[in-house]
Structure 1
Amino acid sequence: MNKAILPALVILIAAEAPAYAINDKYRKQLEQSGCTQVSEAQGCDIHKSKAENAKAGFTNPALESATDPAADTATTPTPYAGQWVAKSEAGKTVATIRIDAKEQVWVNGERVNAKRTDGTLQFRHGKFLFTLQGDRRLQNQDYWMDSDAGTKGPIQIE
């Protein structure tokens, strides 16, 4: 009896079909809608077009650059581009910040290096650390911190 069970078990395991995370129809719906599985969970509708979902605020830059070889980071709009003002709690201007479409940053006219970290753009100028939130739907999440004095304040776009 045991001699027949082991070979049958080996054959059953070898003949088992592979499992895939999503089926072909669902994958095509994701591609046509411009959604990802994550963005769908956040409200992106796979039954709408890419343009309709983009209008609703759902975009997939990785998919767009993969399907369009002409697309690059210079043409993809960045949520950070513009003129920003860092203010103290008293309303005094601490720094003026300019960010271009390539995410090059100038603080008070001086070029500084910036890096993306966990959905934010962070950069330093002297003792100040500036943090800008990438999701523009979130309000009052842009701030600066002075590491020496232990103070912080808001950053607002002009």
Structure 2
Amino acid sequence: MKLTETVRKMVIDSDIGTRAVAAKVDKKHHVLLNELNFENTSHKLGAELLAPLMKACGSDSPMHLLAAEMGGLFIKIPEESCSNASLVKAVKEFGELIAVYGEAIERGELKDEGKQLIRKEGQEAMTAIQELLCGLDVNDSLKPHN
């Protein structure tokens, strides 16, 4: 998937809706949609809009795409206020990774689409594990109470 397609999907799938995303990045709704339309040659999405769009949508999916295209991996550094839910999230994300990988193995083939899904699930699992590890240092509720 291309970057513009990924950003377009992120905006369209956003929990707040395309109009709210446009407002948050100070763009007219129709202008933003035109910029995200890869078939429209008169409007182009500017690179400086990428970070504000990701923040508005609450998604870092374009970063995962860019990292994968460069042979790397994007791992978001979590905020210091990690919750106890980090362990549950890490286990859940790892379980989803193993499920997707297991399904591909059962089919006996691993096409590009399957590899992309496995990479996506793997990145989400690694991010959740990183959040868990960071949370260990700042979360006093994990310490035994006397």
TM-score for the superposition, normalised by structure 1: 0.27
Between structures 1 and 2, the one with greater strand share: 1
The higher relative CO (CA closer than 8 Å, separation ≥ 6) is in 2
Between structures 1 and 2, the one with greater helix share: 2
TM-score for the superposition, normalised by structure 2: 0.29
